[in-house]
Chain A
Amino acid sequence: MTYEERWTGFEAHIDGGGMVEAGDWMPDEYRAGVLKFIEMHANSEIMGAIPEREQIPGAPSLKRKMSLTAKVQDEVGHAQLLYRVAEDLGKSRDAMYWDLVSGKSKFHNVFHYPTFHWGDAAVIGWLIDGAALVTQASLLESSYAPYTRVLKRICAEEQLHLRHGEDITLELASGTDRQRAMLQDALNRWWLPIIHFFGPKSNVDKDLLLRWRVKTRTNEDLRAEFLDRYVPKVLELAFELPTPVPFKDAASERWVVNDEDIDWAPLDAIKKNQGPETERRLGLRRRSYEDHRWVREALDDQTSQAA
């Protein structure tokens, strides 16, 4: 069979609702696209653990410190699951880790921003995890089968994280004026990055990942679902959302924002790894990579001794 014939067969398989396993034949473009997508997801889990870890010392009680620590462990665990899936597509974990710490590969925009106080833990845990869950739930229908299997586990844990974030949010929202001010301050800073989180409008004709059902829904579709689901929840607690200010569309009766109100410049900078905290956070990752080198080497030594 020629490459073209295999390609045609592959597309027919996908169009017929077929799934793909790691050992199956797939076009190089599919392999590279899925690998890059899952690698970015894995990077984001492990980089997302850093801003959350920064919150642990400032958590208001021992219980909050413990639950946040457990959440950070979950995020690192997600990275482990995802790196394993990505590795089976042909890139070593060492290479992926190296590309991350040297700034060659990417991680999600929201983890390029600083955190200041416990209000950030609330907004990250509730709205950012909420946004992530909308995206990840759509990926459960992805054509790459090994990815959907780990996502099942990841989504279950993210559900818990969402509840945990909502719990922190509601505690602040029903607290003192100062606690409410903290939450409002965090919302003011995080709103635009959350809108960016879903990415710019998808190019449906050119996006191979959409065509091959690696991704199942467009960026704007996912953003619309998030807005309609979460805006009313924020507003009913009597908080304000800054530009792009959401409003209820008269025709569709859904909560939306005007596309013209979205300033994409900050996201463009982050795509070049030039976000406000990019350098410092990657520095932390680089340091832990170096500090833990002896562990990786000791693991290898152990085998050579046993052999």
Chain B
Amino acid sequence: MRRSTIRPRRRPESLVEIYEVFRRSGHKQPFEHCGSVTAPDVGMATVMAKECFTRRGEGRHLWVIRRADIHTWSDDSLPDPAADKSYRFAHAYRDVVKKRALARSRAQADAR
């Protein structure tokens, strides 16, 4: 195939930045990350985000945030806490059924 002779013109460092987009379909839902766009400022990023992520009415509210302003954290060891912290979860209180039966029989004994 014949190659084009046009070369990309060297531009000064592009000022376009990455913006992360979060979307919410209504007041009962949380905002969810839905993608990112590139734009020179937040106004243009919002225009792009609306066109890219709400074309079919999927979102009623958008957050558009410069990626550089987002602080991220992740830790794969998170599921294994150093100490037993099961008391923070409902399953730690499963024997409440047994305890209820016990308390009932005690109450009946007292009534007699």
Q: In the assembled complex, which residues on chain B have CB atoms less than 8 Å from the CB atom of A286?
A: 4, 6
Interface residues of chain B: helix, strand, loop or mixed (majority): loop
Shortest Cβ distance from B103 into chain A, in angstroms? Answer: 45
Q: In the assembled complex, which residues on chain B have CB atoms less than 8 Å from the CB atom of A215?
A: none
Residue of A nearest to B36 (CB): A84
- Chain A, residues 233-273, CB within 8 Å of chain B (1/0): the string is 00000000000000000000000000000000000000011
Shortest Cβ distance from B84 into chain A, in angstroms? Answer: 26
Question: In the bound complex, how far is the Cα of B50 from the Cα of A77, in angstroms?
Answer: 12
Mind listing 29 A-B residue pairs with CB under 8 Å?
A77-B51, A80-B52, A84-B36, A87-B18, A93-B38, A98-B8, A102-B3, A102-B4, A103-B1, A149-B35, A150-B35, A272-B1, A273-B1, A274-B1, A278-B1, A279-B1, A286-B4, A286-B6, A290-B6, A293-B9, A299-B39, A300-B14, A300-B15, A300-B16, A302-B41, A302-B44, A303-B16, A303-B40, A306-B41
Residue of B nearest to A299 (CB): B40
Q: Answer yes or no: A28 CB below 8 A from chain B CBs.
A: no
Beta-carbon contact of A101 and B4 below 8 Å: yes
- In the complex, which range does the number of interface residues on chain B fall in? 20 to 34
Q: In the assembled complex, which residues on chain B have CB atoms less than 8 Å from the CB atom of A77?
A: 51-52, 55
Q: Answer yes or no: B98 CB below 8 A from chain A CBs.
A: no
Question: In the bound complex, how far is the Cα of B44 from the Cα of A292, in angstroms?
Answer: 17
Q: In the assembled complex, which residues on chain A have CB atoms less than 8 Å from the CB atom of B72?
A: 23
Shortest Cβ distance from B44 into chain A, in angstroms? Answer: 7
Q: Which residues of B11-36 have CB atoms within 8 Å of chain A's CB atoms?
A: 11, 14-16, 18, 34-36
Shortest Cβ distance from A18 into chain B, in angstroms? Answer: 9
Beta-carbon contact of A81 and B41 below 8 Å: no
